Amino acid sequence: MFLDLVCVCFVFKLIRLEEKQMSEWDFLWGLKGQELEDAMSSGGTAADWDFVEEQQRKKRRVEWDKLKASRDSGEISPDEFKKRKSILFPNESK
């Protein structure tokens, strides 16, 4: 999951670089203090990570809708549904 987030952030930065002809570190301009340190250590600003989080949320939503459709159509058993749901939402308490 973390690797997916890093890949999405990297792609997002590449898009920004192509659109605005930015250097790899131009996203740091205007940042100060802790915000600058965090961006330098993580490779992205808080806005970058918010974008990544939103993309992951959308992806999970699509997967959840597909899983429910498979359950409702009888394509998968209730046990298989529970198993896949626990994989999709690993932090949810049982």
Q: Per-residue pLDDT for 74 more than 90?
A: yes
DSSP 44: S
Encode pLDDT of 26-62 as tens digits: 778 888 999 999 999 888 899 999 999 999 999 999 9
Task: State residue 29's pLDDT score.
Answer: 83
Residue of 46, 13, 49, 11 whose CA lies nearest to 31: 46
Q: Is the pLDDT of residue 73 over 70?
A: yes
Closest CA to 12 of 55, 64, 42: 55
Query: What are the boundaries of each domain within the chain?
Result: 2-88
* 23: Cβ contacts below 8 Å, ≥ 6 apart: 17
Supply the pLDDT for residue 25. Answer: 72
Q: Is 29 left (phi over 0), alpha (psi -120 to 50) or beta?
A: beta
The overall average pLDDT reported for the chain is 82
Confidence of residue 79 (pLDDT cuts 50, 70, 90): very high
